[in-house]
Amino acid sequence: MTTALITGITGQDGSYLAELLEHRGYTVHGTVRRHQQVTPTRHLCDLTDTASVDKVVDEVRPDEIYHLGAQTHVGESFKSPIATFDATGAATLRLLEAVRRIAPQARFYQAATSELFGISPAPQSESTPFHPRSPYGVAKLAAYWAVVNYREAYGLHASNGILFNHESPRRGAGFVTRKISLAVAAIKRGDADTVTLGNLDARRDWGFAPEYVDGMHRILQHAPGDYILATGTSYSVRDFAEHAFAAADLDWADHVRTAEAQQRPADVPDLVGDSSRARDELGWVPTIHTPELARIMVTADMAA
Ligand code: F7E
């Protein structure tokens, strides 16, 4: 039986990935941050504490590690850049060190991100130069190169999945898609009338999270390397709002407001991923694009 360790198992991706791996016959362990969540397969672990990271790798002795745990809110990273660097950048190095010393045969997946590309022009591929635009992006860039370095220096089976935005009804309420889908449901119920957003012109390549966790698993079954997972389509925040409100027979323009306070000191204008390598080498092909994604999320929030 294959044993997997997932950091960030309580998050959107961690929860979908745990379900997928259990379905495929894995024994799945995960790290959690609160005592109340501890079970035989849920281990208390602080990713900013080296001894705690060593302990979980030693206890689980995983065959595959999916490192998804991080401070993942880009806007928040401007307010706490150093804590973000520790939890999102240095934590990856802690885990790689633990793998190198304790479980060097383990396959390692790093949740890299399209935020690495920042203002590099779209479409972005694995050979596009990186130019991050936030403390989050900078921390993820350090983590990306740590993975490459441990692969080259120590021969670890370590890979980066450079995932473009991926959403679902399990997405945290602080991200723009879920903020919008929750607002649509609240407006439809009559509990609210407007939602206040920031930069409506930002363009993202939004896919459906369950398809992306399947991509993560495929990456670890392959020779180690760095892969983009993306749909190859681009929509603005305004487009997403339009589709989400239309799914509830509402007009976005009647309900969306903007405010300076929601803007970031620096934003990423336009992300569109070229995932040809993943398609050709892993057979990974996403099927759900932004209009359907918006409908799925709004439908789920209206039913809840
Ligand atoms: O913002 C704009 C905002 O917070 C998307 C994380 O999972 O994906 C995510 O990062 C865009 C930005 O995601 C609001 O300025 C406008 O341009 O949903 P988001 P993100 O920053 O793209 C990547 C791949 C990750 O790796 C990250 O961990 O939407 N925007 N108005 C807004 N964003 C938010 N959150 N709230 C607004 O009101």
pLDDT, tens digit (0-9, with 9 covering 90-100), for 176-203: 999 999 999 999 999 999 999 999 999 9
pTM confidence score: 0.98
Q: At what angle do helices 209-221 and 12-23 cross, to 10 degrees?
A: 60
ω before 291 within 30° of 0 (cis)? no
Ligand 1: residue of 74, 168, 264 to mutate (most ligand atoms within 8 A of CB) is 74
Instruction: Give 255-276 pLDDT, tens digit per residue.
Output: 999 999 999 999 999 999 999 9
> Could you give the domains of the chain?
3-166+208-229 (3.40.50.720), 172-204+234-270+288-303 (3.90.25.10)
Q: From ligand 1's centre to the CA of 286, what distance in Å? A: 21
User: Maximum Cα–Cα distance for the chain, whole Å?
Assistant: 58
The residue among 19, 139, 116, 135 whose CA lies nearest residue 78 is 135
Pocket of ligand 1 (CB under 6 A): 72, 74-75, 113-115, 164-165, 174-177, 179, 197-199, 202, 204, 237, 262, 264, 267-268
The residue among 131, 134, 133, 135 whose CA lies nearest residue 83 is 135
- The atom number, within ligand 1, closest to the CA of 264 reads 15
Low-confidence ranges of the chain (pLDDT < 50): none
* pLDDT at residue number 280: 98
Q: From ligand 1's centre to the CA of 230, what distance in Å? A: 16
Residue nearest atom 29 in ligand 1 by C-alpha distance: 176
Counting Cα atoms < 13 Å in the Cβ hemisphere of 212 gives 31
Residue nearest atom 9 in ligand 1 by C-alpha distance: 165
* pLDDT at residue number 49: 98
Is residue 136 part of the annotated active site? The answer reads: yes
- The one catalytic residue in 115, 167, 211, 242 is 115
- Ranges of beta strands (E only) in the chain are 3-7, 27-32, 42-44, 64-67, 107-113, 157-163, 166-167, 195-197, 203-204, 207-208, 226-229, 235-236, 256-258
Is residue 292 part of the annotated active site? The answer reads: no
- The atom number, within ligand 1, closest to the CA of 271 reads 22
Q: From ligand 1's centre to the CA of 176, what distance in Å? A: 6
Residues constituting the chain: 304
* pLDDT at residue number 183: 98
Instruction: Give 151-181 pLDDT, tens digit per residue.
Output: 999 999 999 999 999 999 999 999 999 999 9
DSSP secondary structure string for all residues of 158-172: EEEEEEPPEE-TTS-
Is residue 128 part of the annotated active site? The answer reads: no
